[in-house]
């Protein structure tokens, strides 16, 4: 009788059933879409992070440099003494230099930190890397004596987006070349910057490698370098044994332009037993914060970042999408859900009011209060289930459409200069850097390349990621749960009303 | 069957207090057919509510088979309505979405008997009111007289001791009215039911052996 009565009742007020079900369906669908897209955006964020910090990295440890770096040791500065290089007949001198140093803003710290971190509880993997920048300068500079005679004007340097520079200064012609170098531990397979890279050509670094390099495939292409060629890092020619590309997507650069065995990088940069980053893998997500805190207390000078800290640093359309989904999406689905619930409650209550005599009669002929309430609530719950099923179908369809649309999000990790740098480069005139026009009196050398932040453009750039919104079993269950909840809520409110009905209502002579 | 002593029922209507029944005392014997007459608003329906355990008196007792309905819990009252008391209403009060047969079955739902015997009993009850062939019709597809017959079948299917009818012919034309009164009279004679029939129709009341009149909450016996 329960189901017969329920079915007949819902069929009898078809319009109402459909309206309530549609309301719930839209709300449920919205919840599914918002959740799926939100998860998709989060996945994209971790992909961006993974492309920079490597897969499986829960915590990164680095050490920001303290205060401005002294001019003499600035990584982007080349100093040439008077009379250095070979003098040419046209009054210029051939000069070249190659400099390998840590990247701006980071300071190397002792590799013993690695053991310290590895010794902590809940740490399941640890790897260190040494992030470096290689700057090379080669070209002709005016001979000081010649400049003083001719009284030459401004010296200008122009830098292109590829990070190389050229310029002329009273007959000078030179090239500045910069690329990023990362020394990695070939043994640490689980964590580290190379975990998101796959071999494009040749091979990756191996445990006993020495004085070899693996290049980012994009960078190698730009520089027309291939496996078997050599690359000069810190003044030493290294054999290129392989190229790697990002697993994130086609044409996406990896974190660094060149990868060296950690020991080689340390030797070339003259930073024995020094590293710039430690990548930490934690055994379980719930221990991440505890491990981060432990690292902070063990290494007070270090800057410790967890994945969620890093996620906040992801910029670009990804962060916009994240904000949009996070705020607008959540609010929208909450509002629509509330409206749908309200609608379901309203219709149920008005249905009970309309059926006062019917329900009163059932009480009069011996139906208990619980049976009457159960009947009313049952109708609402089934209505909710219909809405939930429709919403689930609608939501999955919408998510499928979103995935099919292939929305591309681009993001860069805030920790990298690349994103911001290329922005500035595109700004145009800023790319022209005024060099020291007239050589200082009595100072025999030319000093160039107080590298502005804009002077970047390594192979790494904003990472483009196609949004893939997943629908998890969890969200499917949650959606059905929400629909049943909506129905139950309406049923409880309507049922309470039905429960209060006096059976004597049945005797009232309503026409 | 019924022993009513000093029954008073007052309602609140806003600030006004309405005394629907004033110190009514009454005895209805087993197998009696009693008509209750009186003007609208005089207290007829209130008396029926008291007899049927649909509402509780303000004071006094209503004993059904020696048990005071006023002292019963809600659950006990529900059980009494489900097992002992059959109701027939002026507006038939059938569930519009259920067929005639299913409407009769609703009265057996609280007794939790097996579905098959429930259906069989409902069919037999429909047969006894002459509608055995209309079981699959919805109330809207039946005439007023037929609907009231279905309602009577619903009241009788659980074999109650008492049938309480509130203006059962109030919404029917004369011919149908007579059919329904014939039916009720036949049931009374055949089954020995105790029947209380509230009606303002003198023709209907005239056919019953005992008549009561309630006006302004007070009751008096009318001569047979």
pLDDT in tens, A384-400: 889 999 999 999 999 99
Test A12 with B109 for CB contact under 8 angstroms. Answer: no
From chain B, the residues in CB contact with A371 under 8 A are 109-110
- By C-alpha distance, which of B161, B168, B171 is closest to B182? B168
**Residue spans per domain, chain A:** 2-44+320-408+471-507, 64-301
User: Mean pLDDT of all residues in chain B?
Assistant: 90
**Least confident among A142-151, A215-224, A373-382, B73-82:** A142-151
- Name which of A5, A357, A367 is nearest B98 (Cβ-Cβ): A5
Judge: B81–A503 Cβ closer than 8 Å, yes or no.
Answer: yes
User: What is the per-residue pLDDT for A445?
Assistant: 35
B209-220 mean pLDDT: 90
User: DSSP string of B107-171?
Assistant: TTGGGT--HHHHHHHHHHHHHHTT-TT-TT--GGGS-HHHHHHHHHHHHHTT--SEEEEESTTTT
pLDDT the model gives residue B101? 95
What pLDDT does A146 receive? 56
How confident is the model over B146-164, as pLDDT tens digits?
Answer: 999 999 999 999 999 999 9
pLDDT tens, residue by residue, A167-222: 555 566 777 788 888 888 877 666 777 777 788 888 888 888 888 999 888 888 88
B169 touches chain A (CB under 8 A): no
Chain A residues in contact with B81 (beta carbon < 8 A): 363-366, 503
Give me the sign of the Cα torsion angle B185, B187, B193, B198.
negative
Q: Predicted confidence band at A129 (pLDDT cuts at 50, 70, 90)?
A: confident
Residue of chain B nearest A12, judged by CA positions: B97
Q: Does the pLDDT at position B23 exceed 50? A: yes
**What pLDDT is recorded for position A414?**
47
Residue B213 β-bridge partners: B37, B220
| Contact between B87 and A363 using a beta-carbon 8 Å cutoff | no
The pLDDT tens digits for A8-24 are 988 888 888 898 889 88
Q: Which residues of B touch A4 (CB under 8 A)?
A: 98, 102
Using CA atoms, how far apart are residues B27 and B5, in angstroms rounded to an integer?
8
pLDDT at A52: 63
Could you give the percent of chain A with pLDDT greater than 70?
Answer: 72
Instruction: Report residue A32 CA to chain centroid gap.
Output: 23
Mark yes or no for CB contact A358/B49 under 8 Å: no
C-alpha span between A347 and A343 (Å, rounded): 6
Does the CA dihedral B142-B148-B151-B153 come out positive or negative?
Answer: negative
A481/A27 Cα distance (integer angstroms)? 13
A354 in contact with B, Cβ within 8 Å: no
- The minimum CA-CA distance between B207 and chain A, rounded to whole Å, is 23
Lowest-confidence pick of A137-141, A142-146, B131-135, B137-141: A142-146
**Contacts A510 to B, Cβ<8 Å:** 91
A13 reaches B (C-beta below 8 A): no
Contact A180, A460 (CB under 8 A): yes
Say if A9 is an interface residue toward chain B (CB within 8 Å): yes
- Give the pLDDT score at A81: 65
- At A87 the three-state DSSP class reads strand
Q: Which residues pair with A464 in a beta bridge?
A: A410
Kindly determine whether residue B93 and residue A361, on different chains, have CB atoms separated by under 8 Å: yes
Contacts of A358 in chain B (CB under 8 A): 93, 95-96
Shortest CA gap B196–chain A (Å): 14
Beta-carbon neighbour count of residue A315 at 10 Å? 18
Q: Pick from A488, A506, A382, A349: which is nearest to A4 by CA? A: A382
pLDDT digits (tens, 9 = 90+) for A426-437: 333 333 333 333
Q: How confident is the model at residue A69 (pLDDT cuts 50, 70, 90)?
A: very low
Asked if the model's pLDDT at residue A470 lies above 80, the reply is: yes
The answer to whether A297 faces chain B, any CB pair under 8 Å, is: no
pLDDT band at B28; cut points 50, 70, 90:
very high
C-alpha span between A199 and A192 (Å, rounded): 15
Band of the pLDDT at A79, cuts 50, 70, 90? low
Residue keyed to tokens 């097992």: B83
Q: Does B188 touch chain A if contact means CB atoms closer than 8 Å?
A: no
Average pLDDT over residues A494-502: 84
**Residue in A closest to B40 by C-alpha:** A509
pLDDT at B106: 94
Q: Given CB atoms, is A355 within the 8 Å cutoff of chain B?
A: no
Q: With contacts defined as CB-CB under 8 Å, which chain A residues touch B170?
A: 509
Query: DSSP string spanning A350-411?
Result: HHHHHTHHHHHHHHHTT--HHHHHHHHHHHHHHHHHHHHHHHHHHHHHHHHHHHHHT-EEEE
- Give B-chain residues touching A361 at CB under 8 angstroms: 87, 89, 93, 95
The whole-angstrom distance between B208's CA and the closest CA on chain A is 22
With CB atoms and an 8 Å threshold, state whether A358 touches B74.
no
Q: What is the chain A residue with the closest CA to B110?
A: A367
Q: Do B78 and A5 touch (CB under 8 A)?
A: no
Are the Cβ atoms of A503 and B54 closer than 8 angstroms? yes
């Amino acid at each position: 009788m329960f189901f017969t009565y329920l079915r007949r009742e819902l069929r009898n007020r078809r319009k109402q059933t459909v309206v309530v079900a549609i309301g719930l369906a839209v709300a449920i669908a919205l919840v599914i879409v918002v959740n799926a897209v939100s998860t998709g955006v989060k996945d994209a964020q971790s992909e961006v992070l993974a492309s920079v910090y490597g897969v499986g990295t829960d915590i990164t440890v680095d050490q920001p440099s303290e205060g401005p770096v002294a001019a003499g040791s600035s990584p982007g500065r080349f100093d040439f003494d008077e009379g250095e290089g070979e003098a040419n007949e046209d009054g210029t001198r051939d000069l070249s230099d190659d400099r390998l140093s840590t990247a701006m803003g980071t300071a190397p710290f002792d590799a013993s930190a690695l053991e310290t971190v590895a010794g902590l509880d809940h740490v399941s993997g640890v790897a260190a890397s040494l992030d470096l920048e290689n700057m090379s300068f080669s070209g002709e500079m005016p001979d000081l004596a010649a400049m003083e005679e001719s009284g030459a004007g401004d010296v200008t340097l122009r830098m292109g987006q590829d990070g190389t520079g050229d310029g002329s200064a009273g007959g000078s012609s030179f090239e500045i070349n910069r690329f990023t170098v990362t020394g990695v531990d070939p043994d640490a397979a689980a964590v580290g910057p190379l975990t998101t890279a796959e071999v494009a050509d040749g091979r990756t670094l191996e445990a006993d490698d020495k004085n070899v390099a693996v290049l980012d495939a994009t960078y190698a292409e730009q520089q027309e370098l291939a496996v078997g060629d050599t690359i000069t890092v810190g003044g030493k020619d290294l054999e290129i044994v392989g190229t790697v590309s990002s697993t994130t997507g086609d044409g996406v650069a990896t974190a660094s332009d060149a990868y060296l065995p950690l020991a080689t990088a340390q030797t070339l940069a003259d930073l024995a037993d020094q590293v710039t980053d430690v990548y930490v893998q934690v055994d379980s997500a719930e221990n991440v914060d505890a491990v981060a805190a432990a690292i902070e207390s063990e290494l007070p000078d270090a800057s410790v970042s967890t994945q969620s800290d890093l996620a906040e640093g992801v910029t670009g359309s990804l962060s916009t999408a994240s904000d949009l989904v996070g705020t607008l999406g959540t609010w929208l689905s909450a509002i629509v859900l509330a409206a749908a619930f309200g609608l379901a409650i309203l219709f149920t209550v008005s249905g009970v009011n309309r059926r006062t005599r019917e329900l009163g009669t059932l009480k009069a002929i011996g139906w208990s209060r619980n049976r009457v309430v159960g009947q009313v609530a049952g109708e609402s719950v089934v209505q909710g289930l219909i809405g939930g099923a429709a919403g689930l179908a609608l939501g999955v369809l919408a998510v499928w459409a979103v995935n099919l649309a292939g929305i591309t999000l681009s993001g860069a990790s805030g920790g990298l200069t690349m994103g911001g740098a290329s922005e500035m480069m595109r700004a145009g005139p800023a790319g022209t850097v005024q060099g020291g026009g007239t050589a200082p009196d009595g100072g025999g050398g030319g000093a160039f390349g107080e590298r502005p932040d804009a002077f970047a453009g390594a192979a790494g750039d904003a990472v483009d990621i196609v949004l893939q919104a997943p629908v998890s079993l969890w969200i499917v269950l949650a959606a059905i749960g929400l629909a049943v909840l909506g129905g139950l809520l309406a049923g409880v409110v309507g049922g309470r009303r039905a429960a209060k009905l006096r059976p004597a209502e049945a005797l009232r002579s309503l026409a | 069957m019924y022993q009513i002593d000093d029954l008073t029922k007052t309602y609140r209507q806003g600030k006004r207090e309405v005394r629907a029944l004033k110190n009514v005392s009454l005895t209805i014997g087993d197998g009696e057919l009693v008509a209750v007459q009186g003007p609208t608003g005089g207290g007829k329906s209130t008396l029926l509510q008291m007899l049927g355990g649909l509402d509780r008196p303000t004071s006094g007792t209503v004993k059904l088979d020696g048990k005071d309905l006023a002292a019963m819990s809600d659950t006990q009252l529900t059980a009494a309505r489900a097992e002992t008391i059959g109701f027939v209403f002026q507006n038939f009060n059938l569930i519009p979405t259920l067929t005639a047969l299913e409407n009769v079955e609703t009265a057996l739902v609280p007794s939790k008997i097996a579905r098959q015997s429930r259906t069989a009993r409902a069919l037999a009850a429909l047969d006894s009111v002459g509608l055995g062939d209309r079981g699959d019709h919805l109330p809207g597809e039946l005439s007023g007289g037929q609907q009231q017959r279905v309602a009577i079948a619903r009241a009788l299917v659980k074999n109650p001791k008492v049938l309480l009818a509130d203006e059962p012919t109030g919404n029917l034309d004369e011919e149908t009215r007579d059919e329904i009164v014939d039916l009720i009279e036949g049931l009374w004679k055949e089954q020995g039911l105790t029947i209380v029939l509230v009606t303002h129709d003198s023709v209907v009341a005239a056919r019953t052996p005992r008549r009561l009149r309630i006006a302004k909450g007070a009751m008096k016996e009318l001569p047979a």
